[in-house]
């Protein structure tokens, strides 16, 4: 299964999730993990899976992730199984009510990423996923790497 895991990361948290996802796919010869800004067009050729992740920034994907999605040629992902993820802060009662309201209203980075991949012809396999950080700069919440590995097991069943 030729797999490309594309990510952007500001503080290393999304990168850690992307690396865990890539490793969980197994055969390292068929799995490439790459920052969104470094993806070359030919890397999208012959893919079975494309997994894209971004930190949630102002309720949306990072600028590099948006640019990557925009630059994918129309219908380039036809027949490719696509999956999206993000890193985010859990909206708990400890956060200001306004912030929780905005998150409910505008959401996170995962949905716009998945929508962008499907718009380019990709086939959604499993629901997108959010992985939690303790603060805007991290670290990841305990157990998130393990949760990412379990998520890959679901993806591989498709």
Could you read off the pLDDT of 29-53 as tens digits, one per residue? 899 999 999 999 999 999 999 999 9
Distance between CA atoms of 120 and 130, rounded to whole angstroms?
Answer: 22
Query: For the chain, how big is the Rg over CA atoms in Å?
Result: 15
Distances (CA, A) of 158 to 106, 128, 153, 154: 29, 14, 9, 7
Could you read off the pLDDT of 96-143 as tens digits, one per residue? 555 555 556 566 899 999 999 999 999 999 999 999 999 888 899 999
């Amino acid at each position: 299964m030729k797999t490309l895991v594309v990510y952007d990361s500001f503080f290393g948290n999304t990168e850690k999730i992307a690396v865990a996802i890539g490793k969980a796919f197994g055969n390292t010869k068929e799995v490439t993990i790459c920052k969104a800004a470094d993806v070359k067009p030919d890397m999208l050729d012959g893919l079975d899976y494309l997994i894209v992740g971004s930190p949630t920034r102002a309720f949306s994907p990072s600028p590099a992730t948006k640019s990557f999605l925009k630059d994918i040629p129309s219908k380039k992902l036809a027949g490719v199984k696509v999956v999206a993820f993000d890193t985010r802060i859990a909206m708990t009662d400890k956060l200001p009510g306004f912030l929780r309201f905005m998150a409910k209203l505008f959401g996170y980075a995962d949905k716009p990423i998945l929508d962008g991949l499907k718009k380019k012809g990709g086939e959604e396999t499993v629901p997108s996923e959010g992985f939690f950080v303790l603060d805007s700069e991290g670290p990841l919440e305990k157990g998130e790497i393990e949760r990412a590995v379990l998520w890959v097991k679901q993806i591989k069943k498709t």
